[in-house]
């Protein structure tokens, strides 16, 4: 991986090497077609790589002075845990209840005035991060910032607090009717099937 901090190109290469980032012609869950497919879990299945990448993300978040890291389960768990390890603070998480809303369980606590960092694996529209921010604020915690391994929002998402990402990834999507890959006759792949 070279050097103390990875470059964007190195991060992309790691994502490709671990097959977290695939190139081809894919149908996304939305039904849209894309020349790329990203599955963060594929890179996080390698603990040493997760530690390195999340350590680099943590370095960007160090100045926030967080006392605790909180993540939305499941996606944010591994990134949150590794960032917390690098910052030497504790890591807690929110999880879905039976109504599908995130909540803080398992006797986890956020103290009034405690500086909290919200950490996620991938931010696209930011709904889960926003829900987590609301929980922290309702408990009286002070949100010190948001960290995500990958920002797929195209710089569109904002939380009213500093947002740091290791990599900004923008992936083209096409309506199947006008997809240039379909028009070129490239076979389409449905990931995960």
- In the complex, least distance from residue 181 CB atom to Zn ion, rounded to whole angstroms: 4
From residue 91, alpha-carbon distances to 14, 84, 143 in Å are 25, 6, 14
- In the complex, least distance from residue 38 CB atom to Zn ion, rounded to whole angstroms: 17
Paired with 95 in beta bridges are: 103
Regarding 179 and contact with Zn ion (CB under 5 A), the answer is yes
How many contiguous H segments (helices) and E segments (strands) does the chain have? 6, 8
Regarding 181 and contact with Zn ion (CB under 5 A), the answer is yes
What count of other Cβ atoms lies within 10 Å of the Cβ of residue 131?
16
- In the complex, least distance from residue 188 CB atom to Zn ion, rounded to whole angstroms: 5
Q: Which of residues 92-131 bind Zn ion (CB under 5 A)?
A: none
> Which residue, 17 or 172, has its beta carbon nearer to Zn ion?
172
Cβ-proximal residue to Zn ion, closest one: 179
Assigned token pair, 83: 């960032």
CA–CA gap between residue 150 and residue 164 (Å, rounded): 9
Number of residues that bind Zn ion (CB under 5 A): 4
- In the complex, least distance from residue 164 CB atom to Zn ion, rounded to whole angstroms: 34
CA–CA gap between residue 193 and residue 190 (Å, rounded): 6
Regarding 91 and contact with Zn ion (CB under 5 A), the answer is no
Contact map string, positions 23 to 52, toward Zn ion, x by CB under 5 A: ----------x-------------------
> What SS3 class is residue 171?
coil
For Zn ion, the binding residues (CB under 5 A) are 33, 179, 181-182
């Amino acid at each position: 991986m070279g050097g103390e901090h990875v470059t964007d190109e190195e991060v992309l290469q790691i994502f490709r090497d671990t097959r977290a980032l695939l190139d081809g012609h894919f149908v996304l869950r939305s039904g849209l077609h894309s020349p790329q497919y990203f599955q963060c879990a594929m890179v996080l299945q390698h603990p040493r790589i997760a530690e390195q990448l999340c350590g680099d993300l943590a370095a960007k978040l160090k100045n926030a002075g967080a006392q605790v890291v909180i993540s939305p389960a499941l996606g944010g768990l591994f990134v949150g845990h590794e960032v917390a390890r690098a910052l030497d603070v504790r890591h807690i998480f929110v999880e879905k209840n039976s109504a599908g809303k995130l909540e803080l369980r398992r006797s986890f606590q956020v103290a009034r005035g405690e500086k909290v960092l919200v950490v996620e694996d991938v931010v696209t529209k930011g709904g889960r991060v926003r829900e987590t921010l609301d929980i922290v604020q309702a408990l009286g915690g002070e949100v010190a910032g948001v960290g995500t391994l990958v920002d797929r929002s195209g710089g569109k998402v904002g939380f009213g607090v500093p947002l740091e990402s290791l990599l900004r990834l923008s992936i083209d999507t096409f309506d199947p009717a006008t997809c240039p890959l379909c028009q070129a006759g490239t076979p389409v792949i449905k990931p995960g099937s």
